[in-house]
Amino acid sequence: MDTVYELFRVGRELSVDQIALRTAAIFVISIVLIRMGGLRMFAKKTPFDTIVDIMLGAILSQAIMGISSFLNCIIAVAVLIVLHTVFSWVCTKSPFAARLVKGKAVILFEDGKMADAGLRSFSLTENDLLESLRLNKHRDSLSEVRKVTMESNGRISFVLKNP
């Protein structure tokens, strides 16, 4: 029992063995907890998902480095994953909650016209749209595009005109 306590105690002066074991344990526990929470938290990458990712990393690093109690960190991560799952489920049931938590898509360009309000809200220029168009659709001109949208995950999407 003393060995388990020594490996998982809180402390500033942890040995390499303690950090290695903590890292391995956190890795395995994280896989189990994240699989329980579903892959959505790492797939969509909305601001909501990114916040959860950052918080998970911060909490888990505390467990590895012995800054906080190992068990408290695991509980915090489990609570965070449960909250993420609950919020995601609520968002599937309520369009209002989805807009509040995840945001909504904003039109940047449509039918040959720039949507100035949308561009301003994201501090984008026509050159930014052209760059994204070249990188994503391998096109040079917005004349080939019917609609450009800033999606709720922060990515710019393009709907091309029919050939």
More confident residue, 17 or 126: 126
For 86-110, letters b (16+ CB in 10 Å) and e give ebbeebeeeeeebeebbbeebebbe
Structure letter (DSSP) for residue 66 = T
Scanning 66-125, the segments in alpha helix (DSSP H) are 70-93, 95-102, 116-121
Q: Which tens digit of pLDDT belongs to each residue from 89-111?
A: 898 899 998 888 878 889 999 98
19: tokens are 């950090």
Structural contact between residues 45 and 154, judged by C-beta atoms closer than 8 angstroms: yes
pTM assigned to the model: 0.67
Please report the sign of the dihedral spanned by the C-alpha atoms of residue 54, residue 57, residue 58, residue 59: positive
At the second CATH level, the architecture of 105-160 is 2-Layer Sandwich (3.30)
| Structure confidence at residue 47 (pLDDT) | 75
Q: Where are the domains of the chain?
A: 2-100, 105-160
* CA–CA gap between residue 69 and residue 137 (Å, rounded): 49
